[in-house]
Structures are given as structure tokens and as C-alpha cells.
Amino acid sequence: MSAAKPPRPPRWADRFLEWYCQPELLEEIQGDAYELFDVRCEGKGPKAARRAFVWDVLRSFRLSTIRKITIQFSPDMYKSNFKIAWRNMAKHKMYSSIKIGGFAIGIAACLLIALFILDELSYDRHYPETGRIYRVIGEMTEGEFAGKGVDFPAPFAKALKDEFPEFEKVARINPNSLFTGGGNPIRRAESNQNTYEEGFTFADQELLDILQIPMVYGDPKHALDEPNTIVITKRKADKYFPNENPVGKTIIANNNTDKPVKIGGVIADFPPNSHLQYDFLITMKGVEFFPGEGNNWEASNYHTYVLLRPGTDLAKLEQKLMPIIVDKYLGANLSKAEVEQVKRTGRIYLQAVPDIHLHSADIHDGMSHGDIRFVWLFGAIAAFILLIAVINFINLSTARSANRAKEVGLRKTVGSTRGYLIAQFLSESLLFSAFSFLLGLLLAWVLLPYFIQLSGKSLQLPWFSWWFLPSIAASTILVGLLAGIYPAFYLSSFKPIQVLKGKLSKGSKNSGLRSALVVFQFTTSIVLIIGTLVVTRQMNFILNKKLGFEKDQVLLLQGTQTLGDKLPTLKKQLQQLPAVDAVTVSDYLPINGAKRNGTEMWDAKKEQQGNSFASQIWQIDYDYLHTMGMKIVAGRDFTEGMRSDSQGVIINQALAKKLNFTQPLGERITNGYQKLTIIGVVEDFHFESMRENIEGICLVLGNSPNMVAVKLHSDNLQKAVQDISATWKSIAPSQPIRYTFLDDSFAQMYNDVKRIGRICTNFALLAIIVACLGLFALSTYLAEQRSKEIGIRKVLGASVGSILGMLLQNFLKLVLIALVIAAPLAWYLMQEWLKDFAYRYQIRWDVFVLAGVAVSLLAVLTIGFQALRSALSNPLDALRSE
């Protein structure tokens, strides 16, 4: 049967040819191809002939043969298109304003977030040699000291320079407050009034060479050459030396009149998008923080920056670093087993300077950085808000298709082509997009100050950057087309006969897609709401968690080391104030940014075996535990008058557990220099951010005079502060008092969490507003569509309640589906976020219920107004027209 049929060329290729080929060329090309096919069938068989046919068709696909796309560029047509679009817009004010308003909100949100992201990405790209500047990172992958860090021993930089020709320059900085980096009181040599300044660091001259920060005064090559020189920023120079060249003048830091520092140069301020933010660079020349430090490989306090020679193979260099440093330098102090272990589990690598800001979340460098994950998160949020707005546009356009259907039918009848109609609808959506962008820009501009506060960044709209307006224009067109393309194709596809006969059921067609889009909108909104709730709860969890110390009503006096011998007097006088409970002198406080002193320690009996552990050693005085409200769970506190207590130590429970003593009291531990006897165990208290577990800590008696903590018990804080100020004034008249409250400093540790919480809240709000706007318009429209049906139902005896229920349930169903999708998604995402915290809020079901109820309520309120209006309307009004 089939053998009788002559073979035919492949149908698809034939149709493809017919589709692309210009009609006047088609007959010739197709005819020749057919003829060739027949000839080849006889010669080589049908299979080969088919293949050859396809090849011929494909080869004939040339610029000269393809159908010309017929777009008529007549300005009149566009004028008419836009005029009709404008009339349509003006006629349906409510829908138009919802479309435009929602769009504008989405665009404004996107713009602001884009500014934020651009700023995050711009960090540390401004140095002339940015591409060759790196920060050195040390990493241990296992063991007690696992983690990444940037602190290296003092001679490390020189070793790098000596051993590896790949390094053109190597520089160290030491911003550690242990060595008076951080904040210090300073004054001009001829003044005696101190001012407290922050942003001190020690630095090598090479740092200036590597970064090449522009110099305002002084010689960039030799500004930090000599001992006791300092480089300050322009803003500090303007503050202390207004209108003069400060180079060569001297300032006194920390009342240290024996060692005035000479200003070697003034650099331009570090821009806000630099990870280094210092105002005072003190030279490292001739500085040793303890005798022999220059050759000491055991104390690591230096951040090390390098400038690579051009063309260096980074991977190769990184491989060599650790082995050579260990063999030639580090190994001398280690046992053979330790050398092996360091070589196996440790590595030294280089981090490109532009990566520091966003890719340092797991690196301990004592700086606060951005986080690449938030860049992604915010980017995603912006995209979703815009998407929600685009969906509104699509939904409203297609829902109102019934109204446009007649127009389409008529236009087609009088000779409009589909292409023309598509152009018409796309112009309409472009017009909407243009209005939305204008409004969005305006909105972004108005909201910018608020967003600056929210994000903690100094941002501005780059109106005058060459790329800004063109990219806005391009986005206008892109978004306009994106939002318009589906409605345009959908609306232009109506068949005139059916439409004019009234066959197209009003707006109900395609409700499947519309429902899916609504579900998507609400899923997104619910995820954002749940996210916001979880972030807020985690925040509250942290702020209210039992900390192991009392953070309330503790006042911290800062810079007290400058009082010198008068410090005990201050303490005594403060203790006598009626509002004061207790006073302690110690720099070591359980808040981030206070002094820290991590050390390697050993169980005294096992020191020779090399089993070291990491611990903090904090110097405190007799009143510390009492003032901080910490609890002794075994043993005792330090007792005044017990001489042996100077060799005693109080450890925390975490350390006790790690040491694994059956009875820790009386056991001895050592840091290599000094053997300490455990006299007490203090209950664990959080001294770092809750992102981390509580580590071991040793409290010893000692003098650390930078800070005084005062526990108050007064209801009248103001009076208490006044009294304390007066006491301070009487003791240190030349120095202004500086104080903070412990709970404030504590809350500051979680500023970033708070910020994320606030940003999430705001954008979740925006998302839900846009989604609800869309829902409102959609429900209004559908209620209008069903007004006749409602009228008939009422005539037949339906109650207001049942009609209301009928109108509501359609949408509530969608919201419920969205909730079902959103809940597990949000749960998973938030679980991931919470992994950052060692101490975290356990997500409970009530979060989901709360989000679900809130969204349902919002949806009901949004729809309810319209639904009620339709349900209450007089059926006569709806029915009398027919």
C-alpha cells in the first residue's frame, strides 16, 4: 500500500521553506528542489534525497530569499497608536493608575536596590594597582585553631619579601587595640586639651607605596620612613591644622609627652567604599610592642598586604607559600608532628583586594564587611518585586480582554493585520512603562534619604553618569516589551467573527494562567513576610537571651588609662556614689570590639605533649564578676588580700568542659610563661556575637585600665550620670568624659541583623502592597463582569452572605495555595540563614500561621470591599439594561 505512494520530501522542511521564502521566489526554489528530489530519489534512494532536500532548503535560507519583515515606519501610525493608548489609559483611570502605580513602586524598589548593590560591588577598586594588590590569609582546616585569619607574626612580611621574588612590595598594618590601635586621645603638642579620636593603626611605609593613596601634603615615598612619624587624613588635618601644612608638626597621643609623633604627610580620606578606614597611620619603624618582637614568630598581630609583580602565577605562588615559610621560619618553634600537621592542614593564600569587602564572611579580621549573600538576596528581592508588578500588568491587561475584544474584532474586520495590532498593544504597554519609569524615578528620588538611613550607606542617584539615563531608557523599553508581549499576542489573536458574535466569554478565558500568576505573586509576598518575621524573632531572641551577665544599667567609662595614678581614686569615689552598685576596671568586656587576648594554652601536666588549646585571657579586678553580674558555679571569686590569687585563674564552663578535668578546682594550666591554678568556674557568658559558640576563657587578676564599668541601681539614670560626670571632672578636668552603656554597645553588635530585618520588612511591605493592588483591580474587574450573574442570583433568592462567599472564595483559594507553596520554601530559606548563628531561634509553626492569617486578611480586605459592593447592589441596576 505504502509502496505505491511516491516518496515525498520531509514535510517540515517544506513548510519551513514556505514560511521563510519570499512568495515571488518560492515557486522557483520549491520547484527546483522538488525536481532535484525526484531525480535523487531515483539515483540515490529516498533517504539520501530527503537529506539533500533538507540541505537545499537550509542553504536557500539567505538574506536575499527570506521574507521581508514588513514594518511600516510611518510616524502617523505611531502617533495614532500612542493616541489610542493614551485615550485608553485616560478612560480607565483606576486600572491605569494601579498598573502604573504598581509598576512605579517596583521600579523604585529595583532602582534603590540596584544603587545599593552597585555600591557594594564598588569596594576597593580605586587603587591604581588594584589588580595586583592582595591581602594575605592564613587558613587551618582542622584542629583547635581551625579557621581563616589575617594576623601574622611581625617578621612574616620580611620573610615573604626575602623568599619570594613574586612580591614587589609587602606591607604590614596593626590596628589591634592591644597596642593602642583603634581609639586614642590626642592633641596638638602646644595644646593640653585632649580629643578622643578613632581610626588609629600602625602601618609600614610600604602600605602607602602599595595603595598609592593620593597625598595632599608630604612626600608619599618617605612619609612614614622615620621612627615616630604619623600620616593623617585630610579631614583630620583640617580639624587639627586648619589652613596650614601640618607636615613636620607634632601631636601627642595618649598623653605620652615623652614620645611626640611628627606628621610625615597628609593623605586623602579613604573613600567610603574602602575596607580600610583609618585616619591615623603611625609608622612601624622602630616600633616593637615587646622586646624581640621583630624576630618573634609566636605572636601574630599583623595584617599583611602585598603587591604582586605583573604576570605572577597566583596559584603557583600560593602553593609555595606555606611549605617554605614553615620550613625556613615557623618550624623552628614546633615539634616535628606539629610541622607535619601545619603543612597538611594549613595554607597561606592571597585574597584580591576588591574581594575583601564581600567575600570575608568567614575570615576573622576584626572588621565589619558586607556579604555577597546579601547582595544576591537583595537583588532577588528587587527582581521579585518588579516581577510582581509586571504580573499585575499582564493580569489586568488579559482580564480586560473582553472589553478590548470587540475593538480587536472591528479593527481586524476593517483590515488591520495582526502585526499592526501587536504594535498597537505594545505601544500601549510602552506608554505605561514610560509613565511608570518616570514615576518610579521620582519615587526613588523621594525615598532615597529614607533608604540611605535604612541601608546605612551614602548613596545617590547617578543622574549625570553617562550610563544612567540610557540604561533607564533601555530598561523602560525592555520592561515595556516584557510586560506587553503576552497581552499583545493574546489580544491580537482573537478571531473577528467569534468576537463580534459575542462568543468570547468575558474575561474568564485564560483564568488558569491568571490564577497561576496570582499564586506566584502571593507566594513571593508570603515568603518575604515569613522571612521578615523570622529575622525579627531571631533579633529578639538574641537581644533577650540569657547572656550569663547583666547588660542593663551598666555604664562604661572609656579612655580611663589617661588618668594614670588617679584611676584607683576614681574607682573609690565612684563606689561611694549613692546610685552606684559596683565598679570594675577592665578593658575586657563581653561585647564585640572590646579588647581581646587569644592565647595558646596547655594543661600544665601535659605541656610537653603539645596538646594546646585556644583560650582568651582576660585581665580583671576584684569587682569584675560582681559588676557584670556573672555567676560562680564552682569554687570562688578572687578575694582581696589573698596573695596566691595573683597565680589563680577563674575559667568558664566551656573551658572546663574542654579541659576534661573531673574536678577542675586546683588543677593548673599554663600559657608557657606562667602556671595558673584554677580557683573557680564561672557560668558561661556570651562574649562574642551569637553567631559563634562560647569559647574558653581564663579570667586572671591584672591591670587593664582603658575602661571602667559602673553598675547602677538607680531609677534616675540622668542623676546617676550627672554624679559620675561630676566625679570625673574633679579628677580629670582637662579631659572630657566619654561613656556608653553596655546594653547599647551590645545592641550595636547586631546592627547588621537589625538592618536586614528592617530592609526585609520594608521590601516585604512593598511587595505585598503591589500584589494587593493587583488583586484589588482584578477582583473589582471580575465583580463587574459578574454583575449580571449576581443580579440573577439575588433575584432568585441568594443571600448577601452567600454571594460574598462566592466572590471571596475564588481568591482565597489562590492565597491558600500560595501559602502551601510558600511555607516550606520560606522555612528552608530561613533555616539556611539561621545557620549563621550558633544560637538561634527555632522556627515554630506560629510564624506560618501568622503570615498566612495576615495575608488572607489583607486579601479579604482588598477583595471584600468590591465583593460587598456587588453583593449589596440592587439587582435591578445590573439587569435592567437587557
Partner 1 sequence: MHRIHLGEFEELVLLLVAVLHGNAYGVSVMEEIEQQTGRSVNISAVHAAMRRLEEKGYLRSEWSEATTQRGGRRKRLFDITQAGRAALEQSRDTYLKLWDQIPGFAPKTNMA
13 lines the binding site for partner 1 (CB under 8 A): no
56 lines the binding site for partner 1 (CB under 8 A): yes
26 or 634, CB closer to partner 1? 26
60 or 351, CB closer to partner 1? 60
60 lines the binding site for partner 1 (CB under 8 A): yes
Q: Which residues pair with 740 in a beta bridge?
A: 556
65 or 670, CB closer to partner 1? 65
7 lines the binding site for partner 1 (CB under 8 A): no
CB of 64 to partner 1, least distance (A): 6
Q: Which three cell numbers stand for residue 213?
A: 593613596
Binding partner 1 (rule: CB under 8 A), the pick from 1, 5, 23, 59 is 59
Which residues have CB under 8 Å from 758's CB, separation 6+? 454
Could you tell me if 200 and 233 are in contact, meaning their C-beta atoms sit under 8 angstroms apart? no
33 or 308, CB closer to partner 1? 33
56 or 124, CB closer to partner 1? 56
376 lines the binding site for partner 1 (CB under 8 A): no
22 or 751, CB closer to partner 1? 22
Do strands 632-635 and 195-203 pair parallel, antiparallel, or not at all (unpaired)? unpaired
CB of 24 to partner 1, least distance (A): 10
30 lines the binding site for partner 1 (CB under 8 A): yes
Binding partner 1 (rule: CB under 8 A), the pick from 1, 43, 64, 608 is 64
Three-state DSSP state, 161? helix
Three-state DSSP state, 709? strand
DSSP state of 399: H
Binding partner 1 (rule: CB under 8 A), the pick from 7, 18, 31, 460 is 31
DSSP state of 695: P
39 lines the binding site for partner 1 (CB under 8 A): yes
What number of chain residues touch partner 1 (CB under 8 A)?
20
721-750 residues in contact with partner 1 (CB under 8 A) are: none
Residues 286, 289, 291, 292, CA torsion sign: negative
CB of 36 to partner 1, least distance (A): 6
29 lines the binding site for partner 1 (CB under 8 A): yes
Window of 53-61, 197-205, 331-339, 478-486 that interacts with partner 1 by CB under 8 A: 53-61
Window of 36-44, 68-76, 174-182, 447-455 that interacts with partner 1 by CB under 8 A: 36-44
Window of 54-62, 395-403, 680-688, 832-840 that interacts with partner 1 by CB under 8 A: 54-62
33 or 574, CB closer to partner 1? 33
196 lines the binding site for partner 1 (CB under 8 A): no
Three-state DSSP state, 142? coil
Q: Which three cell numbers stand for residue 176?
A: 589591634
C-alpha closest to that of 704 among 595, 626, 622:
595
Three-state DSSP state, 218? strand
CB of 72 to partner 1, least distance (A): 25
Could you tell me if 272 and 237 are in contact, meaning their C-beta atoms sit under 8 angstroms apart? no
Window of 62-70, 162-170, 221-229, 512-520 that interacts with partner 1 by CB under 8 A: 62-70
502 lines the binding site for partner 1 (CB under 8 A): no
Burial class (CB in 10 A: 0-12, 13-18, 19+), 673: exposed
Could you tell me if 123 and 274 are in contact, meaning their C-beta atoms sit under 8 angstroms apart? yes
Window of 56-64, 188-196, 222-230, 458-466 that interacts with partner 1 by CB under 8 A: 56-64
Binding partner 1 (rule: CB under 8 A), the pick from 7, 12, 18, 35 is 35
57 or 105, CB closer to partner 1? 57
Q: How far apart are CA 454 and CA 444, in angstroms?
A: 14
64 or 662, CB closer to partner 1? 64
Task: Give, in order, the Cα–Cα distances in Å from 342 to each of 152, 209, 221, 824.
Answer: 15, 32, 38, 43
CB of 50 to partner 1, least distance (A): 15
Task: Give, in order, the Cα–Cα distances in Å from 780 to each of 353, 757, 802, 805, 864.
Answer: 55, 34, 18, 15, 10
C-alpha closest to that of 173 among 187, 186, 156:
156
Q: How far apart are CA 770 and CA 758, in angstroms?
A: 18
Window of 20-28, 145-153, 265-273, 735-743 that interacts with partner 1 by CB under 8 A: 20-28
CB of 46 to partner 1, least distance (A): 16
SS (H, E, C) 711-741: EECCCCHHHHHHHHHHHHHHHCCCCCCCEEE
For 369, phi then psi, to 5°, come to -120, 170
4 or 796, CB closer to partner 1? 4
Do strands 675-682 and 668-670 pair parallel, antiparallel, or not at all (unpaired)? antiparallel
Q: Which three cell numbers stand for residue 172?
A: 604590614
65 lines the binding site for partner 1 (CB under 8 A): yes
65 or 312, CB closer to partner 1? 65
66 lines the binding site for partner 1 (CB under 8 A): no
Continuous segment of H or E residues that includes residue 120: helix 93-121
Q: What is the DSSP string of 230-271?
A: EEEEHHHHHHHSTTS--TT-EEEETT-TTS-EEEEEEEPPPP
Continuous segment of H or E residues that includes residue 520: helix 511-544
Window of 31-39, 132-140, 177-185, 595-603 that interacts with partner 1 by CB under 8 A: 31-39
592 lines the binding site for partner 1 (CB under 8 A): no
34 lines the binding site for partner 1 (CB under 8 A): yes
55 lines the binding site for partner 1 (CB under 8 A): yes
CB of 34 to partner 1, least distance (A): 5
Give first-to-last CA distance, the chain, whole Å: 61
43 or 512, CB closer to partner 1? 43
27 or 288, CB closer to partner 1? 27
Could you tell me if 757 and 542 are in contact, meaning their C-beta atoms sit under 8 angstroms apart? no
62 or 880, CB closer to partner 1? 62
DSSP state of 544: H
Residue in this structure with the C-alpha cell 502605580, named with its chain if needed: 101
21 or 651, CB closer to partner 1? 21
17 lines the binding site for partner 1 (CB under 8 A): no
- Tell how far CA 662 is from the center of its chain: 45
31 or 449, CB closer to partner 1? 31
476 lines the binding site for partner 1 (CB under 8 A): no
Window of 34-42, 244-252, 583-591, 857-865 that interacts with partner 1 by CB under 8 A: 34-42
For 368, phi then psi, to 5°, come to -105, 130
CB of 62 to partner 1, least distance (A): 6
Q: How far apart are CA 301 and CA 299, in angstroms?
A: 6
Could you tell me if 263 and 232 are in contact, meaning their C-beta atoms sit under 8 angstroms apart? yes
55 or 468, CB closer to partner 1? 55
Binding partner 1 (rule: CB under 8 A), the pick from 32, 142, 313, 340 is 32
40 lines the binding site for partner 1 (CB under 8 A): no
38 lines the binding site for partner 1 (CB under 8 A): yes
19 or 673, CB closer to partner 1? 19
Q: How far apart are CA 120 and CA 369, in angstroms?
A: 10
CB of 42 to partner 1, least distance (A): 13
CB of 19 to partner 1, least distance (A): 16
| Helix then strand then coil, % of the chain, to nearest 5 | 55, 15, 30
CB of 773 to partner 1, least distance (A): 55
Residues contributing to the site for partner 1 (CB under 8 A): 25, 27-36, 38-39, 55-56, 59-60, 62, 64-65
